[in-house]
Amino acid sequence: MMDLRDLYQDVIIDHNKNPRNFGRPETCDHEANGNNPLCGDKVTVFVSMAGDVIEDVRFEARGCAISVASASMMTELVKGRKLADARAIFKDFRDVVTRKEDVGADDLERLDKLAVLTGVREFPMRVKCATLPWHTMSAALDDSEEEVTTE
């Protein structure tokens, strides 16, 4: 069994302390709010598109280290990618952190940078923290007016 402390690896601590792409942009095409009431995480994701490519993605967040680090890593990963690729990364990430079967080396390799976040699998509450930014970005891209909630 993994210790909770093992979850907070250096890369997660770094992204939490120095979040990338943080702050509200002057303009954006899409925006959505997410809320994880169980933990108290709140995140807003801003997206600007250029055709089918995510030209810019930024966020504001107040919450735990996992939610902030996940949002920061998400922005780094999807910026400059095609929308379909970004959605595929999210699907992959969500599948791995929510499934019961063991995670293999191939899964971790495919997830690349996100592999450090897969430790949340052992802590169901933290899965919501880690996936909240992704759900919120999806809602922004879908132009959903409703706040995303994990409950």
Is 16 among the residues that bind Zn ion (CB under 5 A)? no
Regarding 64 and contact with Zn ion (CB under 5 A), the answer is: yes
Phi-psi region of 23 (alpha: psi -120 to 50; beta: other; left: phi over 0): left
Out of 39, 49, 103, 115, which residue is the one contacting Zn ion (CB under 5 A)? 39
**Is the CB of 54 or the CB of 117 nearer to Zn ion?**
117
Residue with Cβ nearer Zn ion (21 or 36): 36
State the helix-helix crossing angle for 124-141 and 83-98, rounded to 10 degrees: 160
Would you say 16 or 67 has its CB closer to Zn ion?
Answer: 67
Cα 40–chain centre separation: 16
Minimum distance of Zn ion from residue 39's CB (angstroms):
3
Min. distance of Cβ 104 from Zn ion in angstroms? 27
Contacting Zn ion within 69-128 (CB under 5 A): none
Using CB under 5 A as the criterion, which residues of the chain lie in contact with Zn ion when the complex forms?
Answer: 39, 41, 64, 67, 129
